[in-house]
């Protein structure tokens, strides 16, 4: 009997038995190796913080149940195809599937993991895909002065990708000084908000805090742009549109992964690019906690209350 993790009600999770149906032609049966907990979004779901008017927008591709619960939610899953088309059978694949020991999905829903990417790192594909989309939205230019505010999974991934642009100055900013070690592993300069360099042409905001958004506007040079990547859930935030906002002709634009930010690319191409980028071992720094699948109901409450401070929690599954 297979098992899946469910949010029973806000703040309470449990494992439930699952009976798998036989895969039909054009489908695959995947045995999970690893899954990842996306700290920001999944702890929001776990706490019951998804606003009622966002229930449809926030649905994961293979979600079961409804917010606030019971709901089976998640989208960072890596496993091995046990049964399916000949070109996929035996391959390690990534899928936007919740935390479950095995599952059946259309073959089109899985993406092969490149040989150069370890399966345990491939769980970051969804996060790096979000970062790729943010960079496409941001449209950085040669020589830009850039800041990324919020050294969570997405912010760190964005900073890592932006660091590769020629002649740019990139700083990763966070209120937690301990995140300097992660920035160093990613090859990105780190700063606390108080010491951050201003005069930025571009700021990507990913801290999901009102103070972080205010700081993003404060750091901009005239004609600068803030790309707002945070998800606030059911919280309202104040935006300081007085002071220099109009006189400096500043811009705030949103970015989210639900729409591909380039009309010449599709979802499969974007995810494929994210997986290719994960061949860089520096991304391993984003996985800062692990647990076995059976312990997820007791570990996720600790993550949601910040008792456990992992950026990405890697969930490990026992081989069958």
Q: Tens digits of per-residue pLDDT, 278-287?
A: 999 999 999 9
Residue 204 CB contacts under 8 Å (≥ 6 apart), including other chains:
134, 138, 146, 147, 148, 149, 155, 158, 159, 162, 226, 227, 229, 255
Q: What are the helix and strand counts (H, E) for the chain?
A: 8, 17
Q: Give every CB contact of residue 223 below 8 A, 6+ residues apart in sequence.
A: 201, 248, 249, 250, 251
Rounded Cα–Cα distance for residues 205 and 203 (Å): 6
Q: Which is it for the CA torsion 278, 281, 282, 286, positive or negative?
A: positive
Is the domain 3-116+279-316 a CATH 3.90.180.10 member?
A: yes
pLDDT at position 22 is 95
The Cα–Cα gap between 23 and 107 comes to 10
Predicted pLDDT at 164: 86
Q: Per residue in 136-145, pLDDT tens? A: 999 999 999 9
When the pLDDT of each residue in the chain is averaged and rounded to a whole number, the result is: 94
3-116+279-316 and 128-254 share one fold: no
Q: What is the pLDDT of residues 210-267, one digit of tens each?
A: 999 999 999 999 999 999 999 776 678 888 898 789 999 999 999 988 899 999 999 9
What residues does each domain of the chain span? Answer: 3-116+279-316, 128-254
The domain covering 128-254 belongs, at the CATH homologous superfamily level, to: NAD(P)-binding Rossmann-like Domain (3.40.50.720)
Instruction: Check residue 137 and give its pLDDT.
Output: 97
Q: Write down the pLDDT at residue 300.
A: 95
Q: What is the mean pLDDT of residues 166-191?
A: 95
Question: 208 or 34: which carries more pLDDT confidence?
Answer: 34
Model confidence pTM above 0.85: yes
């Amino acid at each position: 009997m297979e098992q899946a993790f469910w949010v029973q009600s806000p703040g309470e999770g449990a494992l439930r038995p699952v009976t798998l149906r036989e895969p039909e032609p054009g489908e695959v049966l995947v045995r999970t190796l690893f899954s990842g907990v996306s700290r920001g979004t999944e702890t929001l779901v776990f706490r019951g913080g998804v606003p009622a008017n966002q229930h449809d927008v926030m649905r994961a591709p293979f979600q079961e149940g409804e917010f606030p619960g019971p709901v089976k939610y998640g989208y960072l899953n890596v496993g091995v195809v046990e049964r399916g088309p000949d070109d996929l059978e035996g391959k390690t694949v990534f899928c936007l599937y919740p935390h479950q020991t095995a599952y059946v999905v259309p073959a089109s829903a899985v993406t092969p993991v490149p040989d150069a990417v370890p399966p345990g790192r491939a769980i970051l594909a969804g996060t790096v895909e979000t970062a790729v989309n943010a960079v496409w939205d941001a449209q950085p230019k040669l020589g830009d002065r850039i800041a990324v505010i919020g050294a969570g999974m997405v912010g760190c991934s964005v900073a890592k990708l932006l660091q590769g642009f020629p002649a740019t100055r990139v700083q990763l900013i966070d209120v937690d000084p301990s995140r300097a070690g992660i920035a160093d592993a990613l090859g990105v300069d780190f700063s606390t908000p108080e010491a951050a360099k201003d005069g930025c042409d571009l700021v990507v905001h990913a801290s999901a805090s009102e103070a972080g958004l205010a700081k993003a506007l404060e750091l901009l040079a005239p004609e600068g742009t803030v790309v707002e990547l945070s998800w606030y859930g059911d919280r309202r935030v104040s935006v300081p549109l007085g002071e220099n906002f109009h006189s400096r002709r500043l811009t705030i634009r949103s970015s989210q992964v639900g729409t591909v930010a380039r009309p010449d690319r599709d979802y499969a191409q974007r995810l494929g690019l994210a997986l290719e980028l994960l061949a860089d071992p520096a991304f391993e720094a984003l996985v800062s906690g692990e647990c076995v699948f059976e312990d997820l109901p007791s570990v996720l409450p600790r993550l949601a209350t910040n008792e456990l401070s992992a950026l990405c929690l890697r969930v490990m599954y026992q081989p069958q």
